């Protein structure tokens, strides 16, 4: 929803302001200019990326959420699940959660938190490292280093589509200039035309620069920024899991381990200590 609202604001601000200033919208419709600029952008995107990056870009654009995926309620659910798993391990032994880890889809604990169960990245991250903790063959420092390495790898891979889209957005103004130059060249081949005709042709040529800048900075670059924001949200959730599990391995009780995870969240979405405690213990749902 926010993406659509933002695009509508761009469209109404630019074209509405132009119309209110007395401009005519008709001459702005230049489909061939759009073909040249858009085609050049697509071609540059294909030339600059390999098959893996192109596939990742198309996949990530399908996953753009209308709202924030990782919000306060999801983080509280995440920490409640971690608390239950760690508490079960502390009370009944490490092997008590083995079935939950091996078959999370069948786990009652995971089923109580469908938002986490349905998130493949987050669910797999939790189960993979709980599995390593159950094995008992790794110390906290080794596990922490492994987590950091995986989070870094995820960050690098996740930024590939955002970077690819951002570079196309940065190139669009230049492609708009290319289209404008070609329009001017075409106009100059009609040097014997009347002033009115020549002026119209020059105006049409300049629309190429306008469209390139508008498409680049008004539509494509914001998409890349939106993807980067979602990557940051995903990384924050992984960091929350990492901090919580390492705190548990260092001997902290589940309540304190979850508190470590709470501190890893951004202030804007971080629940208070009392909110988290109430939610973790199931006294009231997250708001």
**pLDDT interval class at 37 (50, 70, 90):** very high
pTM for this one? Answer: 0.80
Q: What is the pLDDT of residue 285?
A: 41
The answer to the question of residue 1 being in a domain is no
Residue 136 token pair? 């008992």
For the ranges 69-73, 135-139, 164-168, 198-202, the maximum mean pLDDT occurs at 164-168
Total domains in the fold of the chain = 1
In a domain, 18, yes or no: no
> Where is pLDDT greater, at 155 or 60?
155
Predicted local confidence at residue 59, as pLDDT: 81
* Summary mean pLDDT of the chain: 87
Give yes or no for a contact between 36 and 185, defined as CB atoms under 8 angstroms apart.
no
Structural domain for 111, as ranges: 27-280
Residue 246 has pLDDT above 90, yes or no: yes
Query: What is the residue whose two structure tokens read 């489909």?
Result: 31
Residue 22 lies in a domain: no
* In-domain check, residue 130: yes
CB 97 within 8 A of CB 134: yes
For residue 8, how many other CB atoms are within 10 A of its CB? Answer: 10
Residue 163 has pLDDT above 70, yes or no: yes
Q: Output the CA torsion sign for 169, 170, 173, 177.
A: negative
Contacts of 21-29 spanning 24+ positions with Cβ under 8 A? 27/200, 27/203, 27/204, 27/207, 28/207, 28/210
User: Is 285 a member of any domain?
Assistant: no
Digit-coded pLDDT (tens) for 103-122: 999 999 999 999 899 888 89
Q: Is 8 contained in some domain?
A: no
């Amino acid at each position: 929803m926010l993406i659509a609202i933002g695009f509508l604001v761009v469209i109404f601000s630019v074209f509405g302001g132009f119309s209110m200033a007395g401009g005519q919208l008709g001459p702005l419709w230049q489909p061939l200019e759009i073909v040249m600029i858009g085609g050049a952008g697509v071609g540059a995107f294909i030339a600059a990326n390999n098959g893996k990056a192109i596939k990742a870009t198309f996949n990530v654009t399908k996953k753009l959420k209308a709202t924030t995926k990782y919000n306060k309620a999801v983080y509280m659910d995440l920490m409640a699940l971690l608390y239950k798993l760690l508490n079960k391990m502390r009370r009944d032994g490490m092997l008590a959660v083995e079935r939950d880890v091996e078959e999370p889809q069948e786990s009652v604990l995971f089923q109580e938190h469908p938002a986490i169960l349905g998130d493949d990245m987050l669910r797999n991250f939790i189960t993979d490292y709980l599995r390593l903790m159950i094995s008992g063959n790794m110390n906290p420092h080794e596990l922490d280093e492994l987590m950091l390495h995986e989070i870094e790898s995820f960050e690098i891979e996740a930024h590939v589509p955002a970077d690819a889209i951002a570079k196309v957005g940065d190139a669009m103004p230049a492609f708009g200039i290319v289209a404008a130059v070609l329009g001017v060249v075409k106009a100059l081949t009609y040097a014997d035309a009347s002033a009115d005709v020549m002026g119209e042709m020059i105006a049409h040529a300049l629309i190429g620069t306008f469209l390139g800048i508008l498409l680049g900075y008004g539509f494509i670059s914001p998409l890349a920024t939106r993807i980067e924001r979602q990557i940051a949200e995903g990384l924050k959730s992984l960091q929350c899991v990492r901090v919580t599990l390492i705190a548990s391995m260092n001997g902290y009780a589940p309540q304190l381990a979850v508190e470590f995870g709470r501190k890893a969240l951004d202030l804007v979405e971080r629940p208070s200590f009392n909110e988290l405690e109430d939610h973790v213990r199931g006294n009231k749902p997250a708001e």
